[in-house]
Amino acid sequence: MVYILLIILALVVTAIVSNRATRDCRWREYPGADAARWRCAACGAQTDTADGKPPKTCLRNSK
């Protein structure tokens, strides 16, 4: 019973702490010459970043 409560608590904490702006995004990096190219495996959005880190916001609706 204690394990079930711990699992539920962990799920709730994860949902609260996770970033909602990128919750559905699954960024995959394709290294480039000047900047890292990122592509979302979920929706296909693409972007370049100069710092080599994945985007912090979802780009699903941007063109």
Q: Each residue of 6-45: pLDDT tens digit? A: 999 999 888 777 766 556 678 888 876 667 888 888 888 8
Tally of domains in the chain: 1
Answer yes or no: is 33 within a domain.
yes
Residue 53, domain member (yes or no)? yes
23-49 burial, b for 16+ CB within 10 Å, e for fewer? eebebeeeeeeeebebebeeeebebeb
- Domain residue limits at 51: 23-63
pTM for the predicted model, two decimal places: 0.53
| Amino acid of residue 50 | A
